Amino acid sequence: MLKKYRGYATTLVTLYINGDRPIPDIVNMLREEWAVSGNIKDKTTRNHVQDAIDRIIGMLKGTPKAPPNGLVVFAGFHMISPGNYTWVSYVVIPPFKISTFKYICDMTFHTELLEEGANTTSTYGIIIVERGEAVIALLRGNYWEIVKKVQFFVPNKHSAGGQSALRYKRQTEHLAEVFYKMLADSANEIFLKIEDLKGIIVSGPGPTKEDFLKEDALDYRLKDKVIAIVDACCPDEYGVIETIRKASSHIKDNEYVHAKELLDTLMEYAVRKSNYVVFGRDAAMKALKYGAARVILVSENVGEEEILNLVMEGDRKGIKVEVIPKAVEESKMLDQTFGGYAAILQYPITTLEANQNDS
């Protein structure tokens, strides 16, 4: 229902509030956003955004704290036609805990977190740590997000001029222990609240990840859930993607990993068995029509109605239709290069073409 609404430019507000965040803090943040939005040049956009923020503040005022699972607000002016707008607002208390805060202004409402939380049955935690810097992330269904960054100054392991090497080493080790304790406290606070936490992956460059685990600052219940320790480049978005890829054998039941493996298989066919793969809507639909496809890959971005029609036709033909979520980085290639459609074939293209000519 929410997906049908469209705003004038980026005027629809989506607000995800985690349960332990004080509402007065949210109201103060919204007031700051109201002031910043005063710099928007387009009058309609500026008025719509500021009016939406005012109304959301009015809804939240008097509430000291969000419910334990958090709160989601969707609000803004839906454009019926140019110059014709109607106010819409929805407040949702999700059936699962929201672990992050998000404020988004866009042409559409962002329902991804709600959808993923409702559809998935398990969550994986990710800790990426290097010296003095770390991120904590969550992988749910086909969606991942960084929920916290932890930073603390820890010097490199080399002697400083004018200092005793032994003393310098002790100071450095102490600072590292303080950092590991900070990181563990944050991980404990986030992960222990998640009832469906299935496992934790610890990653990072060099031996720092092993040093972190040796400190035993992580709650024993979480340490028992560590399913993989892998190398990763850095504690940021790229590191999360690399961590998921390298730990994929440990989380094969996850939709995100499954989608990445499908795309990897597709590209392997494209390189080594190019006559067993077709790209684009027309070619994929032909492969489906003639029962030549082993599997159809379709981007989430083609739309719900199109996906439903494909799945139904696939069921009739006994052909699996796999939806590639837009959260998977490699899905951009499927969208931008091939229009969101591809098919891995049961037999070569030449045989498919011969079947078409005979029919």
Q: Mean pLDDT, to the nearest integer, of 190-219?
A: 92
Percent of the chain with pLDDT over 90: 49
Q: Residue 287 above 60 pLDDT?
A: yes
pLDDT of 62 reads 78
pLDDT of 296 reads 96
Q: List, for residues 319-339, the tens digit of each pLDDT value.
A: 999 988 877 777 888 888 889
Q: Residue 168 above 70 pLDDT?
A: no
Q: Residue 203 above 90 pLDDT?
A: yes
Q: Mean pLDDT, to the nearest integer, of 260-274?
A: 90
Domain 256-358 belongs to what topology?
60s Ribosomal Protein L30; Chain: A; (3.30.1330)
Q: Residue 342: is it exposed, middle or buried by C-beta count within 10 angstroms (0-12/13-18/19+)?
A: buried
pLDDT of 333 reads 85
Amino acid at 248: S
293-299/197-204 β-pairing: unpaired
Helices 281-289, 304-317: crossing angle, 10 deg rounding: 30
DSSP H or E run through 180: helix 165-191
CA-based nearest residue to 123, from 20, 193, 219, 51: 193
pLDDT of 127 reads 98
Q: Residue 191 above 90 pLDDT?
A: yes
Residue pair 325/300 in contact by the 8 Å Cβ criterion: yes
pLDDT of 165 reads 67
Which CATH architecture fits 120-252?
2-Layer Sandwich (3.30)
pLDDT of 119 reads 60
Q: Residue 27 above 80 pLDDT?
A: yes
Residue pair 235/130 in contact by the 8 Å Cβ criterion: yes
Domains of the chain, by residue range, sit at: 2-118, 120-252, 256-358
pLDDT of 216 reads 86
Most confident of 90-94, 109-113, 146-150, 301-305: 146-150
Supply the pTM of this predicted model. 0.58
Which CATH architecture fits 2-118?
2-Layer Sandwich (3.30)
Reported confidence tier of residue 154, pLDDT bands at 50, 70, 90: confident
Q: Residue 160 above 60 pLDDT?
A: no
pLDDT of 15 reads 95
pLDDT of 120 reads 57
pLDDT of 89 reads 93
Percent of the chain with pLDDT over 70: 91
pLDDT of 352 reads 58
